[in-house]
């Protein structure tokens, strides 16, 4: 009987093991080629393993097990007999049961429903195609369905706490956040930005932008371009410390923080100084989608020189973001709220956003940090500056 070994794939030299967080299929199910089989959590990324061939799967490890790269976690039998063994018997072969029509037998094979377990409405109690379709709609068990997620631990009436082990990714995030605060002389400076000009541009050109590029014009592309502009004006922010050496970066790979159910990830958009607004928006949407679907790669997370994080999507009004080592600074965006401001001697209502720049004071002086943030503010409040480079 031909057997295919399902192994934990290599994900880079720095990753040696991970946690097989969950199986997407049931033990003994019939799987299709390229079907997602399991979810693997490491200290850097969460990824999926897929089937290299169709067949019947047999587990070698349970969900929640720590596994090594290259370890066999299941086998897939591609023998035709085993495939047939995983399918329910046609109704015509059920002892004592009425003979099913060819249409019913085909539908039973496709859906995995057992006609013998269904009350027939046809002549002499025969199961009809409509009976099978109705049964499938009310949630009958179908082979190949993903294994149900483990039930959340339910505390007893006397328990007041539940415990669960931190995932490798969450442990790594915790270590990096603590290390950043211990190793850097971190300071945060604030400003506020009038979003009127950017909001007017989006409203004016949104429809044409979507028609041409197939993606919406968001706020993030404006801030990415504003950050690149500011990094060119204040190159000290685009540098990092390596021991007793200052490393100046002459490229503009910008990290954009993405919140996932596994934790915060920072995919990097490469060479943002050369990209159009549409390309920036498209790439951000792509990496955010893949991060949330556990399909991000290590290459997507490497090489950033600066990070932008947007707590405003969750309603945050103000925060002090933590820098992402070895980077020297991070820009925090916040919620846009209508607020009264003084403009040309008059009190007017404007859509305002607080912005925060956290930076490593060992490398970036206060004047440079404030200048950087002012450059970002100017570029957002007057986007024409991005076109003419002032």
Token representation of residue 113: 């429903």
Please indicate, yes or no, whether residues 72 and 111 belong to a single structural domain of this protein. no
Q: Is the peptide bond before 326 cis (omega within 30 degrees of 0)?
A: yes
Whether the CB-CB separation of 340 and 192 falls below 8 Å is answered with no
Pair (279, 177) in one structural domain: yes
For residues 296-325, give the mean pLDDT: 92
CA distance linking residue 153 with residue 302, whole number of Å = 36
Provide the 3-class DSSP secondary structure of residue 49: strand
* Helix residue spans in the chain (DSSP H): 80-85, 102-111, 129-137, 168-183, 196-213, 219-233, 277-292, 298-301, 366-381, 384-388
For 34, left (φ over 0), alpha (ψ -120 to 50), or beta?
left
| Distance in angstroms (rounded) separating the CA atoms of residues 28 and 21 | 19
Residue 155 in domain: no
Q: Hey, which residues are catalytic here?
A: 361, 365
Neighbours of 184 (CB within 10 A): 21
Question: In which band, very low, low, confident or very high, does the pLDDT at 141 lie, cut at 50, 70 and 90?
Answer: very low
- pLDDT reported for residue 374: 97
If asked whether residues 129 and 249 sit together in one domain, one would say no
Q: Look at residue 111 in the predicted model and tell me its pLDDT.
A: 67
Q: Is the pLDDT of residue 337 over 90?
A: yes
Q: Give the domain-ending residue among 51, 81, 111.
A: 81
* Beta bridge pairs of residue 359: 187, 329
Q: Is residue 143 part of a domain?
A: no
Mark whether 187 and 268 lie in a shared domain: yes
Token pair, residue 3, equals 């057997």
Number of domains into which the chain is organized: 3
**Residue 367 belongs to some domain of the structure:** yes
The residue that leads in pLDDT, 122 or 143, is 122
Which pLDDT tens digit goes with each residue over 206-217? 999 999 999 999
What's the whole-number average pLDDT of the chain? 84
205 in a structural domain: yes
Cα 158 to Cα 142: distance, rounded to the nearest angstrom: 38
pTM above 0.75, yes or no: no
**What CATH number should be reported for the domain holding residue 121?**
4.10.320
Read off the pLDDT of residues 363-372 as tens digits, 9 standing for 90 and up.
999 999 999 9
Rounded CA separation 118/194 (Å): 64
Residue with the larger pLDDT of the pair 297 and 355: 355
CB 60 within 8 A of CB 68: no
What CATH number is associated with residue 9? 2.40.50.100
Query: Do 234 and 335 have their domain in common?
Result: yes
User: Residue 139, exposed/middle/buried by CB under 10 A (0-12, 13-18, 19+)?
Assistant: exposed
Determine, yes or no, domain membership for 162: no
Alpha helices per DSSP H over 30-139: 80-85, 102-111, 129-137
Q: Is residue 192 part of a domain?
A: yes
Domain annotation covers residue 95: yes
Dihedral of the alpha carbons of 295, 298, 299, 302, in degrees to the nearest 10? 130
Does position 256 have pLDDT exceeding 70, yes or no? yes
Same domain, 266 and 365: yes
**Residues 115 and 176 occupy one common structural domain:** no
Q: 186 and 102, same structural domain?
A: no
In a domain, 283, yes or no: yes
Compute the distance between CA of residue 43 and CA of residue 301 in angstroms, rounded to an integer.
Answer: 13
Q: Tell whether 97 and 226 lie within a shared domain.
A: no
Whether residues 76 and 94 share a domain: the answer is no
CA 92 to chain centre: 47
Per-residue confidence (pLDDT) for residue 263, from 0 to 100: 78
Q: Which residue would you say has higher pLDDT here, 95 or 382?
A: 382
Query: Is 2 in contact with 78 (CB distance < 8 Å)?
Result: yes
Looking at beta carbons, which pairs linking 66-69 to residues 24 or more positions away fall under 8 Å? 66/17, 66/18, 66/19, 66/20, 67/8, 67/17, 67/18, 67/19, 67/20, 67/40, 68/8, 68/16, 68/17, 69/8, 69/9, 69/10, 69/11, 69/15, 69/16, 69/17, 69/18
At which of 64, 81, 98 does a domain end?
81
Per the structure, the complete domain to which residue 36 belongs is given by: 3-81
CATH number at residue 339: 3.30.559.10
What pLDDT, on a 0 to 100 scale, did the predictor assign at position 387?
Answer: 80
Mean pLDDT of 237-254: 94
Whether 218 and 115 share a structural domain: no
What count of other Cβ atoms lies within 10 Å of the Cβ of residue 327?
22
DSSP bridge pairs for 352: 194, 337
Same domain, 319 and 261: yes
- Among residues 19, 16, 14, the alpha carbon closest in space to that of 38 is found at 19
Question: What is the rounded CA–CA span in Å between residue 264 and residue 308?
Answer: 12
Q: How many residues does the chain have?
A: 390
pLDDT in tens, 116-138: 767 677 766 777 777 767 666 55
């Amino acid at each position: 009987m031909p057997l295919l070994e399902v192994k934990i794939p290599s994900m880079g030299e720095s990753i040696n093991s991970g946690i097989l967080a969950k199986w997407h299929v049931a033990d003994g199910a019939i799987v299709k080629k390229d079907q997602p089989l399991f979810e693997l959590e490491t200290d850097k990324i969460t990824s999926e393993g897929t089937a290299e061939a169709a067949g019947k799967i047999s587990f070698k490890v349970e969900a929640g097990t720590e596994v090594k790269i290259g370890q066999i976690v299941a086998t897939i039998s591609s023998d035709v007999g085993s495939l047939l063994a995983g399918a329910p018997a046609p109704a015509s072969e059920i002892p004592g049961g009425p003979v099913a029509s060819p249409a019913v037998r085909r539908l039973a094979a496709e859906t995995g429903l057992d006609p013998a377990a269904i009350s027939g409405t046809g002549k002499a109690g025969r199961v009809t195609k409509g009976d099978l379709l109705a049964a499938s709609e009310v949630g009958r068990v179908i082979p190949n369905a993903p294994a149900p997620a483990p039930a959340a631990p339910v505390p007893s009436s006397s328990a007041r706490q539940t415990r669960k082990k931190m995932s490798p990714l969450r442990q790594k995030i915790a270590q990096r956040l603590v290390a950043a605060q211990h190793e850097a002389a971190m300071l945060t400076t604030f400003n506020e930005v009038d979003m009127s000009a950017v909001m007017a541009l989006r409203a004016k050109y949104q429809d044409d932008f979507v028609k041409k590029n197939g993606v919406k014009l968001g706020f993030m592309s404006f801030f990415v371009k504003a950050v690149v502009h500011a990094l060119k004006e204040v190159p000290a922010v685009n540098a990092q410390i390596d021991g007793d050496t200052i490393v100046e970066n002459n490229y503009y790979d910008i990290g954009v923080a993405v919140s996932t159910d596994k934790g915060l990830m920072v995919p990097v958009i490469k060479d943002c100084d050369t990209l159009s607004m549409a390309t920036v928006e498209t790439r951000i949407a792509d990496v955010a989608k893949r991060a949330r679907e556990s399909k991000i790669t290590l290459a997507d997370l490497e090489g950033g020189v600066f990070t932008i994080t947007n707590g405003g999507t969750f309603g945050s009004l103000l925060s002090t973001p933590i820098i992402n080592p070895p980077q020297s600074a991070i820009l925090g965006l916040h919620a846009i709220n209508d607020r009264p401001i003084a403009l040309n001697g008059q009190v007017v209502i404007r859509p305002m956003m607080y912005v925060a720049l956290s930076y490593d004071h060992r490398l970036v002086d206060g004047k440079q940090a404030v200048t950087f943030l002012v450059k970002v503010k100017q570029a957002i409040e007057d986007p024409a500056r991005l076109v003419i480079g002032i």
